Structure 1
Amino acid sequence: MPETLFAFALASMLVELTPGPNMAYLAVIAATEGRRRGYAATAGVALGLAIVGGLAAFGLAALVERSPLAYQILRWGGVLYLLWLAYDGWRGAGETIEHAPPGSSDWRYFRRGLITNLLNPKAAVFYLSVLPTFLSGKDGLSETLLLSGIYVTVATVIHAGIVTLAGAARAFLEDPRKERLLRRVLSVGLALIAFWFAVKTGR
């Protein structure tokens, strides 16, 4: 179990460190509007991820426990999803997001962070395809809630770090060569985690 939790935390970290909407959004907010509003947006993102995770947990637990076929479908879906993320990161595909207007209240930044993740298909797909590959099937609900909590914690720590170091992080990501290097390093890591899924999570 500890090995599985570590691997899941590592996968979560690599997914969250890959440049994407949340990273860009939080870095720009903190750099242009200040850390306080960046932290407000981070809290909204965390709540959004927790809500999606909770909804997925109650639906996934029974499904995975009762249907080996469903588990295998989700398992291989997770492998393919991570490989797709690795490919997407390697080729450097960018994503755009909508920002709150400058001068907005902290609540507005919190709300944008929340809504962005409630409507973010990547968050739902992660819970529905990647997370189940780490379930043993013995106690689906408890395991799913535990892994969801780990994912939200890892994501929030990373997002808070991005806000705290927004100036340096934004400067790094604006350098095309450094961004390309970061994407490729993280993409290789994601691909390795995907292969680990295929070998370690077979039943």
Structure 2
Amino acid sequence: MAKQITWERALVRTGFLFEKEGDTFLFHYENCLNQRLLERMLKDLGVAGSLEQMRFTPATFEVDEEAFMQAFHENRGSHEYFPGVVDAIVLYSLDPYIAGIVRWCAAIGIPTATSCDGHGRRHASLCFHKGEEQYPVLVDACMALLSGGKWQFHYQYQSASGRFMIRQSHRELRERQQERRERGREHGSKLVYEQRWLLDVAEALHDHQDLLSDVVRSMKTTTANQTR
């Protein structure tokens, strides 16, 4: 059964920057490349012509999230370097399931260098620029705060990269081990990594960005004082 979510959540979870005016979404602060991406996506979703003068008023309250993500994937462009500034993020150069994370990380003060959503074959990951080894620590702290310790950003000490993972309970670990044993009996079977939870991470980063911005700022100050 298709999962229906509000247009607002769909846009937030994939990193689009907008304001709301009643039922209308305003994209005045979104860059032109992302506006064009959204226009193409809306065309694929059968709502072309709905984005006029940087305004979008959907005819329905909800959208099929799977179809929305597929439209994002189908309209992606080439990978390009872009500055880690929230209004300069080029969404079409990012993987669909991590685009929102990249944008809202930038919004709270953690710009990224490269990213990958894992494509269902591996853990999603972020890489940072040389000299930014403190950023994985900041991301992991934010993940713990947002999830009560369930989400984590796993990294090696003094490394400028890491992977998004979910901490599992003993029961969940046993179930996963059983699943792997069963899959191992199937010829050519491969482990599939869940991606949808990454959209939950992006949404949580967006919804708590004021709090997280303060946390990141304080942690950066603490780190700077320790290195003096």
> Which structure has the larger Rg over C-alpha atoms?
2
- Range into which the TM-score falls when normalised by the shorter chain: under 0.3
Task: Normalising by structure 2, report the TM-score.
Answer: 0.23
Task: Normalising by structure 1, report the TM-score.
Answer: 0.25
> Quick check: which one's helix share is greater?
1
Higher RCO, Cα 8 Å, sep 6+: 1
> Quick check: which one's strand share is greater?
2
